[in-house]
A and B are shown apart, each in its own frame.
Chain A
Amino acid sequence: MRNKTQGQIFVIFIITVVMIAITVFSMLLGSAEIGLSDFFKLFNGSTDEFTGNILLSIRLPRILAAIILGGALSVSGFLLQIFFGNPIAGPYVLGVSSSAKLVVALTMVLLLENGLVISSFGMIVAAFAGSILSMGVVLLLADRIRNMSLLVVCGVMIGYICSAITDFIVCFADDSNIVNLHNWSLGSFSGTTIEHVRISLVFVVICLVLAFMLSKPIGAYQLGEAYAQNMGVNIKALRIVLILTSSLLTATVTAFAGPISFVGIAVPHIMRGILKTAKPILMIPACFIGGAIITLFCDDVARCAFAPTELSISSVTAVFLSPIVIYLLIRRGKKNNG
């Protein structure tokens, strides 16, 4: 038992190292030729202005955003999977990301038409309102539809409806800023500023600390409501906190990077496979780091694979991660049939 836990902590250490390595690698990746020596010069301040600018003002914010938001998304997925007691739950497939996107787009366009620019904080608030909205719809449906796969189908439909309305809004709004909005509505880290990073860091850290402090009742909840109740868990309060935390995490991600598909559903599954446990106290940090690695990797592919053309991050995550989701569905189907 003790050895198992030690092994798991070692795995978390290893993936942390991987995360740092891929961060450095991503800093060097891009159309401007920058070598490892230029990167190390950053630390003693002897880089030339041009290189320093590219590294610190363009690449660093984007990389940090991918790490923070990618991690946030997978933790959000993990919390939703606990809440629904089901591995196929995730913020994207339940339509939460898309409806957050819709409300943000709507708010942006309305404000732009009145000559106002939305603040970062305002974006998060709008996205949070959107994610709570669709979460409410999903919860109402969940009450009637006991079958999780059907619920996911409903979530996907909600997502499509929201995306369609967003497209509509983007199409008919007239402003030069719409070009930006279009990119964002597909999911992208491009154009992330250090201010975005700062404010999302605040929200994500609050949610993560909260989730981590709740790992004890979350662990009890994994045995089902009846036993959790008997162990002294306040079920109602826990359910509310779980939903709010995962919605806020998804909202923060969507506000700055748009909807990112499949990270929230697939990463917790990958981490469970690697760690061979579902214990929240290990899974919450592991999901964060795993989500950071995968999102950063996918963002690297998105910006460099067909440079100078950028792909949307969701098209990359979909290619890599949707097979995992399909695998999950198949395995689940098998389990239910025998």
Chain B
Amino acid sequence: MDKLLRTYKLDVGYRSVVVKDVEIEVSPGEIIALIGPNGAGKSTIINTITRQLIGLSGKIYIKEKDEASYRGEDLAKLMSMVTTKRITPELMSAREVVATGRYPYTGRLGILSKDDWDKVDEAIKLVEMTDISDRDFSKLSDGQRQRIMLARAICQEPEIMILDEPTSFLDIQFKIDILSIIRKLAEEKNIAVIMSIHDLEFVEAVADMVIAIDDSRVKAVGKPEDIITSDIIEQIYHMEKDSGKVIVEGLKEYSKALKKMINRKKYED
């Protein structure tokens, strides 16, 4: 019973159900990848867990307590997130954006202590953005922004991190960097991660468990090597017969290479 987060018969959606009977479990230090075609409902699940949406039925438990019973700021101390939504803060430096992660720990007026700023700088160092931290956030590249948003989520000192497509719009090197950092967080800080991802080639390198979603339900759950198979891939992405096999064969080689890269990167510093 050491699950950090657990959903039970969770139905998610807007007015009508998008995904039914979602059951996700995540332990400390574990990374779960949500895969599935566009519009399958990965973001809907993530938005429900992070309270952007209200679950239609079922329960979410965090540390075996009903999520609904947590006060906003208490939940914020346990769970942080990075969404695909672009933020457009005005006149904020990258460091100030990261500092908003300390929000739940500050007093009524939201003034950061020296200790808070140290944690901000530590998180910035972890994502290797120290050099640009005083620059205006709106002038950063996509890859830099994504790292800054990740640093923001890190300095919130969560036990669970929810990441919606953290690698979208990034080039290959940035993808490797971001995923190495996430892997490192899980291993060193024992943070549980739930992330949606489109880049199947990275799944094996980064995830411990994979949940495949399609057709408004969870199609398969298991270890990456058991899920990224020709059958399942063909099925969830609605591919022509036998094309899954071709893709997965190619994917395996690339995946192996990326795994090497990510592990090397992780232990470099």
Show the binding face of A for B, using Cβ within 8 Å. Answer: 1, 85, 87, 213, 215-216, 219-220, 222-227, 229-234, 272, 276-278, 281
Contact B79 A230 (CB under 8 A): yes
Q: Is the CB of B103 within 8 A of A220?
A: yes
For the complex, give the distance between the alpha carbons of A151 and B83 in Å. Answer: 27
Main secondary structure of the interface of B (DSSP, over half): loop
- State the CA gap A226–B81 with chains docked (Å): 9
Establish whether residues A227 and B100, one from each chain, have CB atoms under 8 Å apart when the complex forms. Answer: yes
Given contact pairs A232-B73, A232-B74, A220 touches B80 in the complex (Cβ within 8 A): no
Contact B80 A230 (CB under 8 A): yes
Distance A222 CA – B103 CA, assembled complex (angstroms): 13
Residue of B nearest to A85 (CB): B88
CB of B191 closer than 8 Å to a CB of A: no
Q: Are the C-beta atoms of B72 and A272 separated by less than 8 Å?
A: no
User: Once the chains are docked, how many angstroms separate the CA of A226 from the CA of B80?
Assistant: 11
Measured between C-beta atoms, what is the minimum distance from A84 to chain B in Å?
A: 13
Which chain A residue has the least Cβ–Cβ distance from B81? A230
Of B90-98, B124-132, B182-190, B240-248, the stretch lying at the interface with chain A is B90-98
Stretch of B14-22, B24-32, B106-114, B192-200 with 4 or more beta carbons under 8 angstroms from chain A: B106-114
> What residues of chain A lie closer than 8 Å to B95, measured between beta carbons?
1
Q: Report yes or no: B104 in contact with A232, Cβ–Cβ below 8 A.
A: yes
B237 within 8 A of A: no
Bound-state Cα–Cα, A55 to B95, Å: 50
Sort chain B's interface into a size bin.
Answer: 20 to 34
Most buried by B among A226, A277, A278: A226
User: Within 8 Å CB of B81, what residues of A?
Assistant: 226-227, 230
Say yes or no: A232-B76 contact (C-beta < 8 A), given A216-B110, A278-B89: yes
A-B CB pair tally, cutoff 8 Å: 77
Contacts of B92 in A (CB 8 A): 222, 277-278
Q: Contacts A229-B50, A232-B103 given: A216-B109 contact, CB under 8 Å?
A: yes
Q: Which residue, A85, A229, A233, has most C-beta atoms of chain B within 10 A? A: A229
Cβ of B139 under 8 Å from chain A: no
Could you say which residues of chain B place their CB within 8 Å of the CB of A232?
A: 71-76, 103-104
Give the residues in chain A near B91, CB-CB below 8 Å: 272, 276-278
The 10 A-B residue pairs with the shortest CB-CB distance, nearest first, are A232-B72, A216-B110, A232-B73, A232-B76, A231-B103, A278-B90, A278-B91, A224-B87, A223-B87, A230-B81
Residues of chain B lying within 8 A (CB to CB) of residue A234: 72
Chain A: minimal CB distance from B52 (Å): 6
Interface centre among B97, B106, B109, B156 (most CB of A within 10 A): B109
The reply to whether A223 and B89 form a contact with Cβ atoms under 8 Å apart is yes
Further pairs besides A220-B100, A230-B50, A230-B76: 16, Cβ < 8 Å = A213-B108, A216-B106, A216-B108, A220-B110, A222-B89, A223-B97, A223-B100, A224-B87, A224-B88, A225-B52, A226-B52, A227-B87, A229-B51, A230-B80, A231-B103, A281-B110
Q: How far is the CB of B138 from chain A (nearest CB, A)?
A: 9
Q: Complex: how many Å from CA A272 to CA B90?
A: 9
Q: Which residues of A contact B106 (CB under 8 A)?
A: 216
Complex formed: what's the CA distance from A220 to B95 in Å?
15
Which A residue sits closest to B153, measured CB to CB?
A230
Residue on A nearest B158 in the bound complex, by CB: A230
Closest to A216 in B: B110
The CA-CA distance from A226 to B53 in the complex, in Å, is: 10
The smallest beta-carbon distance between B244 and chain A, in angstroms, is 34
User: How far does the Cβ of B38 sit from chain A's closest Cβ, in whole Å?
Assistant: 20
Residues of B within 8 A of A276 (CB): 91
Q: Determine which of B71, B100, B117 lies in contact with A219 in the assembled complex, contact meaning CB atoms within 8 Å.
A: B100
Q: How far is the CA of A222 from the CA of B72 in the complex (A)?
A: 17
A27 CA to B14 CA, complexed, in Å:
60
Contact of A224 among B75, B85, B109 (CB under 8 A): B85
Nearest-Cβ distance from residue B133 to partner chain A, whole angstroms: 10
B104-A231 in contact (CB<8A): yes
B80 / chain A contacts, CB cutoff of 8 Å: 230
- The answer to whether A227 touches B72 (Cβ under 8 A) is no
**A1-B117, A215-B109 in contact; A222/B71 too (CB < 8 A)?**
no
How far apart are B115's CB and chain A's nearest CB, in angstroms?
A: 14
Given contacts A230-B51, A231-B76, A232-B73, contact A281 B87 (CB under 8 A): no
User: Which residue of A has the minimal Cβ distance to B114?
Assistant: A2
Distance (whole angstroms) from the CB of B111 to the closest CB of chain A:
8
Q: How far is the CA of A272 from the CA of B95 in the complex (A)?
A: 18
CA distance A232 to B88 in the complex (A): 20
CA distance A215 to B103 in the complex (A): 12
A232 to B85, CA, bound (A): 18
A335 to B249, CA, bound (A): 45
CA distance A215 to B108 in the complex (A): 9
A45 to B188, CA, bound (A): 73
B52 touches A229 (CB 8 A): yes
Query: Once the chains are docked, how many angstroms separate the CA of A157 from the CA of B74?
Result: 45
Can you report 25 A-B residue pairs in the complex whose CB atoms are below 8 A from each other? A1-B117, A85-B88, A213-B108, A215-B110, A216-B103, A216-B110, A219-B100, A219-B110, A222-B89, A226-B50, A226-B81, A226-B85, A229-B52, A230-B76, A230-B79, A230-B81, A231-B76, A231-B104, A232-B71, A232-B72, A232-B75, A233-B72, A276-B91, A278-B89, A281-B109
- Give Cα A276–Cα B92 distance, bound, in whole angstroms: 9
